Amino acid sequence: MKSIQWRLVFIYLTLVLIVMISSGTFILWQIERYEYNKIYVELKEATDIIQNNFFSSQGNLKSSWNDLNTLVWDGNFLGNKKLYILDSYGNIKFPDSQMDEERWNKRVVYEAKLNKEPSMGRPINVLEGSTTVEYVDYASPILSSNSEVLYIIYIRASTQEIADNIAKITNIILIASIGALFITMVFGIYFSKTLTAPIKVLTKRAKEMAEGRLDCKIEVKSNDEIGQLTGSFNHMAEELNQMLLAISSEKNKLETVISNMTDGILAFDRKGMLIQANPAAYTMLKTDTMEKYFYDIFKKAGLELRFDEFIKMKPNSIKQHIMMIGDRYINACFAAYGREKGEIEGIIIVLQDVTEQKELEEMRKEFVANVSHELRTPLTTIKSYTETLLDGALEEKEVAIPFLEVINNETDRMTALVQDLLELSRLDNKQVKFNKRSINLIHLIEDSVNKHKIHAQKKQQNMQFNTNIKKLFINIDPDRIYQVFSNILSNAIKYSPEKASINIGVLDNEDNVRVFVKDTGIGISKEDLPRIFERFYRVDKARSRAMGGTGLGLAIAKEIMENHNGKIWAESEKGKGTTIILEFPKNN
């Protein structure tokens, strides 16, 4: 009996059955009582008549037993009732003994004798032939003047008619009950259906909601409790729908943010299984396919990390690891996430590529070391020469003068170094103001070449600037670009032997202008070539220093070129010569 409908029908039927049984029993009991009372009155009247007519007030028989026989048998006084008169010892006095085979109800006789008043027994069934007949027994005592029981009038009356009537009424009640039960069932089914139908609709709708269909409403047909429930249900579905829309929009936003983040995100559940990974995480872990589990993912990236270590973390706490994946430094932040209760649900890892920061840091350290080193060398020289001078060399002019020249040169070199450092620092901090204007590049190169020719001639080098172009105007800061040319030309002179040739040329391309300075000098090896634009990088430190180089010239040139949106690079072959190329964009 699972459904409410059948439960309601069952309740109706049980109620009707209880009502029918109780009311039927009550009716039958009332009828029975009435009928048996009636027969009691009848029997009492009959015994009164017998007592008055045949017995004196002292309880003695007035006439003969025969007279009584006449009354009983001939006058049909008692109908189908049987009359017996017993003495106080229970011996039958009337009718004569041949009729005493029947057994009277001794209990009724005993009660009448004891109580000295009439007594009627409960109906009993007596087998007569093949049928049973119902009787009641009635006994009334005849008392003497001193209230002694002399005789007992005993009547056995058939109540079969009453029994038959009661049986008929019982049948009628039974049939009525069955009819009532049937009608109840029919109406019960109908009424319970009207109650359960809206509940069924609600159940169906709830199932649909669970499957994610939240947008259709149920019609409210009544204003009763079920109607109100339907209304509340519709309201709840609408609220849920709104809430889900808001959540999914938030989720979309979050997913867009996560997938477009430059930081890698990995989320794991409490068993270490991957839930989410954004494209940046794939890039940082250098993989196209992610493994399923934490351990395998990091093992593939060459790292041995144990998930247990992180899942034991407190919620909202963070652990950091810097790890090398390939040639990149990755900073991984491990954070445990969980419910409010403090139960950990899993781990989120944020991966950040910190290679550039690391490199910058390394560069900074290297730079500081280089600066200290570059300053220490001249300072040591100055210090030792000064001490020697103070120790007495000052007195000998021919020793003192070369010493002082060394001190002077070292001071110049330090000044040059400090100036270059300051220049670089200003360029780095964007403090240098570029005064760009349209300048004839040919003039600028000619000026610079002419100035450096004197130095080249000292080494019998052949410095040539060959071009047919007379005018080539580009937007540049002439002082800064002049500085770049000076550095490149002086390098060409410095790193080329005597009698070498240095050729300068210009190429007027469609989008850009290229200036090249080609020498037949010592050249640069393949390994050193990409590094000559780094700060303090020198192929041959001693040679550079001897020539008054700081190792910062090309680094400054590169900064200046980049500030002009231009480029600078070198092509070289060791032992054969070097070409430095400058490229200026035309629309700068």
Contacts for 560 with CB less than 8 Å, ≥ 6 apart: 427, 477, 480, 481, 483, 484
Question: Smaller CB distance to ligand ADP: residue 84 or 495?
Answer: 495
Distance in Å, CB of 490 to ligand ADP, minimum: 8
- The C-alpha atoms of residue 148 and residue 385 are separated, in whole angstroms, by 171
Question: Smaller CB distance to ligand ADP: residue 538 or 564?
Answer: 538
Distance in Å, CB of 419 to ligand ADP, minimum: 12
Distance in Å, CB of 496 to ligand ADP, minimum: 7
Closest CA to 14 of 185, 173, 146, 129: 185
What is the β-pairing status of strands 437-440 and 473-476?
A: antiparallel
Distance in Å, CB of 497 to ligand ADP, minimum: 11
Phi, psi angle pair for 503, to nearest 5°: -110, 135
What is the β-pairing status of strands 124-128 and 437-440?
A: unpaired
Question: Smaller CB distance to ligand ADP: residue 495 or 584?
Answer: 495
Question: Smaller CB distance to ligand ADP: residue 185 or 416?
Answer: 416
For the chain, the residue count is 588
Distance in Å, CB of 371 to ligand ADP, minimum: 14
Q: What are the tokens at 580?
A: 């430095």
Distance in Å, CB of 573 to ligand ADP, minimum: 11
- The C-alpha atoms of residue 134 and residue 82 are separated, in whole angstroms, by 13
Question: Smaller CB distance to ligand ADP: residue 383 or 543?
Answer: 543
Question: Smaller CB distance to ligand ADP: residue 230 or 550?
Answer: 550
Residue nearest to ligand ADP (CB): 549
Question: Smaller CB distance to ligand ADP: residue 287 or 579?
Answer: 579
Contacts for 480 with CB less than 8 Å, ≥ 6 apart: 432, 434, 560, 563, 564
Distance in Å, CB of 531 to ligand ADP, minimum: 9
Distance in Å, CB of 511 to ligand ADP, minimum: 27
CA 476 to chain centre: 61
Question: Smaller CB distance to ligand ADP: residue 254 or 546?
Answer: 546
Q: Give the binding site for ligand ADP (CB under 6 A).
A: 487, 491-492, 495, 519, 521-522, 524, 532, 537-540, 544, 549-555, 578
Question: Smaller CB distance to ligand ADP: residue 326 or 530?
Answer: 530
Distance in Å, CB of 537 to ligand ADP, minimum: 6
Question: Smaller CB distance to ligand ADP: residue 149 or 532?
Answer: 532
Is residue 310 classed as helix, strand or coil in its secondary structure? Answer: helix
Contacts for 201 with CB less than 8 Å, ≥ 6 apart: 218, 230
Q: What are the tokens at 96?
A: 């004569």
Closest CA to 524 of 561, 485, 554, 556: 554
Q: What are the tokens at 204?
A: 């169906």
Count CA atoms within 13 Å of residue 332 on its CB side.
20
Distance in Å, CB of 270 to ligand ADP, minimum: 57
Distance in Å, CB of 571 to ligand ADP, minimum: 11
Distance in Å, CB of 350 to ligand ADP, minimum: 40
Question: Smaller CB distance to ligand ADP: residue 109 or 524?
Answer: 524
What is the β-pairing status of strands 501-508 and 462-465?
A: parallel
- The C-alpha atoms of residue 348 and residue 350 are separated, in whole angstroms, by 7
Amino acid at 63: S
Contacts for 106 with CB less than 8 Å, ≥ 6 apart: 90
Q: What are the tokens at 436?
A: 């760009």
Question: Smaller CB distance to ligand ADP: residue 278 or 544?
Answer: 544
- The C-alpha atoms of residue 12 and residue 6 are separated, in whole angstroms, by 10
Contacts for 60 with CB less than 8 Å, ≥ 6 apart: 150
Contacts for 325 with CB less than 8 Å, ≥ 6 apart: 284, 285, 286, 301, 302, 303
